[in-house]
Chain A
């Protein structure tokens, strides 16, 4: 745990858990509420990652506390809005951390290719 009052480096957030990374990726193209986040993750992972209510909001709470996401004050059109939902969007820090995690994974993949663990056809 990083002591309060000390600024954290980007590296200190890494590696991210797969579920947390997926949430960041889901928010990378715009603000969403919980249901949309969970649906998108399930769709993009062919239902391999199904975030339950507790797991998703555990991640959202942590991302909010770390400042990687924030609650959006912008709401959709009144006729389309559901007041019970909250919308979340990536912060600058969240995007930077997601990029850093993607780069880290890319480096790991490159190493796997170099060692012939991962074939070029999968690249």
Chain B
């Protein structure tokens, strides 16, 4: 009898190294290797310290190298075996690769978007430290009123926490000197704007401090997209001169392709070159809030410290200029990182879509695992033979994992193609929410993510079926053991089908909520009739604005087929331009009391007579503007129903007076129906409409009602506008239906993506249920044969088997409903007009899933009716 001694440190070291070897190898040679190790260790110790050290190095390296070789060899053997199996069962292989390819591809696509927009830093060095300063009026609910030039000067000179403070505002100017006048969206920025962003122009130079001094030569920097679109990417445009605002401007640089903020513009100019910004009003009036302000923090300064510092300045300004900063409105500064601001709109959408693809991936893996379990059952004899031939359980388990990984890697490759192909769609989708869409590309990170995800899926789908193997008695070819494995496997398959049903119902509810939102928005009464209306944005450079617009309307109204035409400072659902809120004063006592409690000031819009009729809005009381409402006549306004019902709930608003500037009282002559200007999902807010006759506007939106809208109408409009003023710019000619449709596009696409995922999920789940039932019928032929032989009808047998499906369905639906119930609230940002836990959506989703479950399980069960009990029993 051998005496067991405690292992030495060296032997423990060897034992650790031996664990690197494959289990089979260890089982076979570990004992001998330990003996040899002890012998060699003794010899090395006798040969001196150096030999002893060399022995340990050699042993370690040799064992690691052998372990690597052995594992590689097994991997090649298993991969070769898996490939042969895949070739042998090609329909199974194609089905699995297609299912995994779709799920992994969709996940990779979601990763590309989430990584570029939510995770990666902005593609310019200074962008991630950039803060957007927001001047707020919490007293009246204004989140970001902008800054005036005077305020910028104050905050720049008085702060102690900011490194640099730059401004941006957007104007639209006409650029002359090319083939035809073009209207360009212009970013008016501080000279160091691009410097603190860390953006170096692709060609030419950035703005210098000298460019932003009075009497400096006007210069321009072109955005990348505008340069590509208008100049065909010709770098020689740097140094060229163009006319803008009656001044010669020199192009000094071209920007690289960067996500622009706060909005996409065509060109940039320094602040001194902007005639509005350099005007008397803008330079001296504190109320001229038109600038966005960005800043970088001094090293070591936190956001909270900067906010405290800036709010102290705000308080000082309130004390110093009480007329400009009424106490009741409250003034404070909010700080928001630019990166967060750029991804703000798309964040909830991306989170929902990522969750959806995650569920789809789980569902796909569950489905494929179910198929693998069924296959394993079909291969029981083969596995038994392999066991008898000496393969250990670990070895078989490893082969199964390799098979899973091989399938998943092929699925991953299909997924890569899927993701690559869908990149264009992804960019156009995300561009509706953020300028960061330009950063989406098929990077190495996406490929690595896809492959890692494939490996993870492979391990899951390879390992999961082996859970049954671990609990099975050793593989033998005896029938009893096979049936034991069948029972365990059938439980596993049942659980997998229930899981698929649960994932599927969550996806169905998600898609249902998004679809119901779109349906609601399609049907929502926007307060106007878009059908048969053509819209356009008209800009004029100089001259008499009112005369131009008057002539334009007169001539357009005379065109054949045109019913009516009107102009407005902004049209509904047009996100490129918007009017600002302006506080109003009222005269009568009741209204004054209501005004004090009104959180948001009304928006002022400028319109012409016939605008409401053309748009399809209704005059509910009083009258529309008329040609008699001129500058010389009594100043009048029209208010919307929302405003009228708040201020004068018990009487008519017509005849009442309001003031939008001190002591300039305007009579209300009409009340118009509410129009959803900002969005179909936004409730109407207070609006005041002023007459163009009493205002001066250089840009207006034109609406033309013509039942037979033809492409010629746009050409005629351009011809008339240029005939009146050759420098006039006619832009953005679109039917109003398209304006509405464009606004809905992002919601439609979100719903479409979720619906596609839900349909795929439904198909995968149906195939999973159908496959499980087909296998169950196959397995239970003997039992079915006996039952039919003793008098049971096929109907009763089918019914009893359907009970099994019903139980699974109830478990799946219950779990899925729980998940959907919890997850639906996270969709509240992207749904509108319905509750996140909308009963109809939940009911329809469950009805659809029940119908699909019944249909997909019933078809395999119909085989029972065709079975002959005599044949079945003889076969057994």
Contacts and interface: CB of A to CB of B under 8 A. Distances in A.
Interface string A24-47: 000000000111001100000000
B595 interface: no
Nearest to B21: A54
Given A38-B40, A60-B29, A61-B29, A54 B35 contact: no
B24 to A, nearest CB: 9
B31 A84 contact: yes
A54 B64 contact: yes
A34 B449 CA distance: 46
A76 to B, nearest CB: 15
Nearest to A35: B39
By size class, the interface of chain A is: 20 to 34
B231 interface: no
B33 interface: yes
Contacts of A33: 32
Given A52-B58, A54-B65, A61-B28, A1 B76 contact: yes
B69 A56 contact: no
Interface string B30-48: 0111111101100100000
A54 to B, nearest CB: 3
Contact of A55 (B28, B32, B39, B65): B65
A55 to B, nearest CB: 4
Contacts of A38: 36, 40
Contact of B61 (A35, A52, A82, A86): A52
Nearest to A58: B66
Interface of B: 14, 17, 21, 25, 28-29, 31-37, 39-40, 43, 55, 58-59, 61-67, 69-70, 76, 80
A91 interface: no
A46 to B, nearest CB: 14
A13 interface: no
Contacts of A1: 76, 80
A58 B59 contact: no
Interface in A36-79: 38-39, 50-58, 60-61
Nearest to A85: B35
A57 B33 contact: yes
B262 to A, nearest CB: 62
A38 B69 CA distance: 20
Given A52-B58, A52-B59, A61-B29, A82 B35 contact: yes
Contacts of B66: 54-55, 57-58
B33 A53 contact: yes
The majority secondary structure among interface residues of chain B is helix
A33 B36 CA distance: 9
A57 to B, nearest CB: 5
Contact of B36 (A50, A53, A61): A53
A95 B132 CA distance: 82
B72 to A, nearest CB: 12
A82 B31 CA distance: 12
B62 A61 contact: no
Contacts of A82: 35
Most buried by B among A38, A55, A57, A85: A57
A54 B32 contact: no
A50 B40 CA distance: 10
Contact of B63 (A34, A54, A86): A54
Given A1-B80, A84-B31, A54 B62 contact: yes
4 smallest CB-CB distances across A and B, nearest first, come from A52-B62, A54-B63, A58-B66, A54-B62
Contacts of B32: 33-34, 57, 84-86
Contacts of B63: 52-54
Interface string A1-29: 10000000000000000000000000000
Contact of A35 (B29, B35, B65, B76): B35
Contacts of A39: 43
5 contacts: A1-B80, A33-B32, A35-B35, A52-B61, A58-B70
B34 to A, nearest CB: 8
Given A61-B29, A84-B32, 18 more contacts: A34-B32, A34-B36, A38-B40, A50-B58, A52-B59, A53-B33, A53-B36, A53-B63, A54-B59, A54-B63, A54-B66, A54-B67, A55-B65, A57-B66, A58-B62, A82-B35, A84-B34, A84-B35
Nearest to B63: A54
A50 B661 CA distance: 99
Contact of B37 (A53, A55, A86): A53
Interface string A78-95: 000010111000000000
Contacts of A61: 25, 28-29, 70
Contacts of A84: 31-32, 34-35
Contacts of A55: 62, 65-66
A101 B485 CA distance: 50
A55 B76 CA distance: 20
Contacts of A51: 62
Nearest to B30: A57
